[in-house]
Structure 1
Amino acid sequence: MLDDLEELVTCESYSADHAAVARSARVVAEQGRRLLGAPPRTLVTGGVTHLQWSFGTPRVLLLGHHDTVWPMGTLKTHPFSVRDGVARGPGVFDMKAGLVQMFHALALLPSLDGICVLVTGDEEVGSDTSRALIEDTARACRAALVLEAAAAGGALKTGRKGVSHYDLAVHGRAAHSGLEPEKGVNAATELAHHLLALRHLTDAVTARTGPGTTVTPTVMSAGTTTNTVPARAELSLDVRVPTRAAQEAVDDLLRGLTPHHPGARLEVGGGPNRPPLDTDSSQQLFALADEVAIRSGLGPLRQTSVGGASDGNYTAGVGCPTLDGLGAVGDGAHADHEHVVTAAMPPRVQLLAGLVEAIR
């Protein structure tokens, strides 16, 4: 497994570099062919390469992704290594170790009948080209098992917040900031009013639907030159919600924003991306996984809900029971200290193999 992990990690697959993702897909495809005994169907949508294996009539979907957040060349500063039982490298935890564990778990089964494997290439950037494929596949299955990395201490993920992305654009009026600033409408100042008011929006959503919603300003820009009243300002928002009701409430409130200055104009773009993965979608599968773990001497298991989203949000959103976090045990997704505890890989392989058999 460590040899396979090194092969995947050293083939960099930054989401924005479609050629790199295509190269990575070929490496993943070859590992899958060797361990599953069959080549995948290669699907290229919008320039992004996805892989799919289907055996018989699919009943269990195993879902993962091979793209990473790490720009090309990261291996020079974060080389693959295994020392003292810890594997490091870009994407090792999120989620190339999960792919390795998945292939090796399936290789243990006497038959692959009823199994569908889907490995996408754009999860880290919102799954725009793979969402329809994920949802259509999940609708035909009785369970989706997501090989994203485990939560702290190896806990499975039985709940995930939903995600929305918004772009606020303020249109003002330019003017010379020294000669006649009063003739301008300062888009930066207008945006600042809305920025400060976002905390009240969060309070309003909490009052309507309960706690757990976060509205986080991320990227902001305004103006063109230092002596010009800004005619345009932009703000990106990352929204995380525990329920669909909260997601809808945020959307209603943001689209209801009105300008503070009568001469300004406000545009709200974007919207919901991933629906929440509700714990109700995971509980029966978690209970089954816990039984398998205890029977195999691996349990009991732990579960948790997290703020991050995955493609498991999509599978749960179309009504397919979903269990997430079945991948690597470690820490540091998207961070310099990203790593995998290698001793945990064989037990996770055993757990996944037993769970797939129990579902089928």
Structure 2
Amino acid sequence: MSSIDPSVSALSVWLALESPTHHTPGVNGMMDLVAKEVEGLPIAVERLPGRDGLGDSLILRAGVANGEPAVAVMSHLDTVHPVGTSARDLPVRVEGDKLYGPGVYDMKGGAWLALQAFKDVAKSGTAKRPLVFLFTGDEEIGSPTTRGVIEEIGRASAAVLVTEPAREGGKIVTARKGVGRFEVKFEGRPAHSGARHADGRSAIREAAHHILAIDGMTDYGRGITTSVALMGGGTAANVIPQHAWFSVDLRVTTAADGIEMAKRILGLKPHDPDVRISISGGMNRPPYEKTPAVAALFETARGVAAGVGFELQDCPMTGGGSDGNFTAAFGVPTLDGLGIDGAGAHTLSEYALISSIAPRRALIKGLLETI
């Protein structure tokens, strides 16, 4: 691929190293690639060991040490595609303006082009503030081990730039819904489904009542959605099921709605008093709202983009969460969706637009020099 475009060739090396979240060698291998790229440059590297069976994180620091709050860039290097996807279902390849490969759109493409911009500014010394670049490896499962460092860096920053993929037509993200996750478990009373049916108390029957109740909490007018997409229970076809469980996904537009909805879900009571119910979970990511500070940062980005030669737009509040939710919740101006343009995130048709690499790289470079 090196005969086509140097950036495509370099990014393809990242795509060839598959790094699903729970594949620690792949995630750590990606951190190795990043560290190797900045060797010999005026960039300090700090590696944070992974925990709970997950991969490492990497923090790069550059820019001027003038005591000012930093400009922070945040990227994740984990993907959702299992090892072997590139060999079987999604080979790394170029078709016209499209570069295909596992995680190219979400979000290795954005991480790679942002790193190039970070290196450019570090070498030129044109930043007005300290610069920090955080690479994590567990975003796709909710950032359970890296949320602390994300929030720590966010609190100390003047602005945060998140390189999640661009939305349709290159739009960036200035607002995201908050995300809640819950686990609901039921314990009934087992019995022979033929000889002693009346003695049983079905955990699955109880779960069915609550699935419908939770689904009924969706309120499109308020931007609230609830869904049950994982469930299980029972032991055999001829046994009244003693156990059942399901998980709940909640999306909200405001922090107040998150508090209200979490209280409703956690407060569910048994329909059948002979069945026990236990509920755990809560808000996983707070809402990321387009505050005046976020709007002002977006206007700065629009000006930078105009200088690069394209019109930057943002999209309406999106339902998907990111690490930008964590930093925006502290009131830190956050721009998201600054990564590569393309489509097909989390699918076997995932691709990035090669033509978007140069302008998106220039946009991030300009922001690192302007903010």
Normalising by structure 2, what TM-score?
0.92
Q: Is this contact kept in 1: 2:74–2:135, CA < 8 A? A: yes
Separation in structure 2 between the aligned mates of residue 8 and residue 39 of structure 1, nearest angstrom: 21
Separation in structure 1 between the aligned mates of residue 31 and residue 258 of structure 2, nearest angstrom: 34
Q: 1:86: which partner in 2? A: 98
Separation in structure 2 between the aligned mates of residue 302 and residue 178 of structure 1, nearest angstrom: 60
Separation in structure 2 between the aligned mates of residue 192 and residue 131 of structure 1, nearest angstrom: 34
Given the alignment, which residue of 35, 43, 46 partners 1:41? 46
Q: From the superposition, tell whether residues 265 and 138 of structure 1 become closer, same or farther in structure 2 (CA, over 3 Å).
A: same
Q: 1:249: which partner in 2? A: 260
Aligned residue runs from structure 1 range 52-131, under 5 A? 52-55=59-62, 56=65, 57=67, 59-77=70-88, 78-109=90-121, 110-111=124-125, 114-131=130-147
Given the alignment, which residue of 143, 149, 157 partners 2:165? 149
Q: Over residues 151-174 of structure 1, what are the superposed CA-to-partner deviations in whole Å (9 max), with x where a residue is unaligned? A: 111001011111111111011011
Over the aligned positions, Cα root-mean-square deviation in angstroms equals 1.5
Given the alignment, which residue of 145, 148, 160 partners 2:176? 160
Aligned residue runs from structure 1 range 185-334, under 5 A? 185-203=201-219, 211-280=222-291, 282-334=294-346
2:58 counterpart of 1:51: yes
Q: Over residues 168-199 of structure 1, what are the superposed CA-to-partner deviations in whole Å (9 max), with x where a residue is unaligned? A: 10110111111101111100001001111123
Moved more, 20-29 or 350-359: 20-29
Which runs of 5 or more residues in structure 1 are unaligned?
none
Q: 1:336: which partner in 2? A: 348
AA partner of residue 6 (structure 1): S
Separation in structure 1 between the aligned mates of residue 143 and residue 224 of structure 2, nearest angstrom: 22
Q: Is this contact kept in 1: 2:15–2:102, CA < 8 A? A: yes
Q: 1:23: which partner in 2? A: 29
1:37 shift after superposition: 4.4
1:200 shift after superposition: 3.1
Separation in structure 1 between the aligned mates of residue 18 and residue 143 of structure 2, nearest angstrom: 18
1:267 shift after superposition: 0.7
1:33 shift after superposition: 3.4
Q: Is this contact kept in 2: 1:327–1:348, CA < 8 A? A: yes
SS in 2 for 1:344: helix
Q: 2:11: which partner in 1? A: 5
1:39 shift after superposition: 5.5
Aligned-pair identity in percent equals 37
Separation in structure 2 between the aligned mates of residue 288 and residue 66 of structure 1, nearest angstrom: 27
Q: 1:180: which partner in 2? A: 196
Q: Over residues 314-351 of structure 1, what are the superposed CA-to-partner deviations in whole Å (9 max), with x where a residue is unaligned? A: 11112211000110000111011111000111011111
Separation in structure 2 between the aligned mates of residue 67 and residue 37 of structure 1, nearest angstrom: 26
Give the total of aligned pairs: 353
Separation in structure 1 between the aligned mates of residue 29 and residue 57 of structure 2, nearest angstrom: 11
Separation in structure 2 between the aligned mates of residue 301 and residue 256 of structure 1, nearest angstrom: 41
Separation in structure 2 between the aligned mates of residue 202 and residue 31 of structure 1, nearest angstrom: 46
AA partner of residue 216 (structure 1): S
Q: From the superposition, tell whether residues 33 and 308 of structure 1 become closer, same or farther in structure 2 (CA, over 3 Å).
A: farther
1:23 shift after superposition: 1.6
1:79 shift after superposition: 1.2
AA partner of residue 338 (structure 1): E
Normalising by structure 1, what TM-score?
0.94
Q: From the superposition, tell whether residues 33 and 213 of structure 1 become closer, same or farther in structure 2 (CA, over 3 Å).
A: farther
Q: Is this contact kept in 2: 1:221–1:235, CA < 8 A? A: yes
Q: Over residues 64-119 of structure 1, what are the superposed CA-to-partner deviations in whole Å (9 max), with x where a residue is unaligned? A: 01010011111112111112011000000011111111122123322155100000
Q: Is this contact kept in 2: 1:8–1:28, CA < 8 A? A: no
Separation in structure 2 between the aligned mates of residue 350 and residue 87 of structure 1, nearest angstrom: 19
**Structure 1 stretches (4+) deviating beyond 4 angstroms?**
none
SS in 1 for 2:106: helix
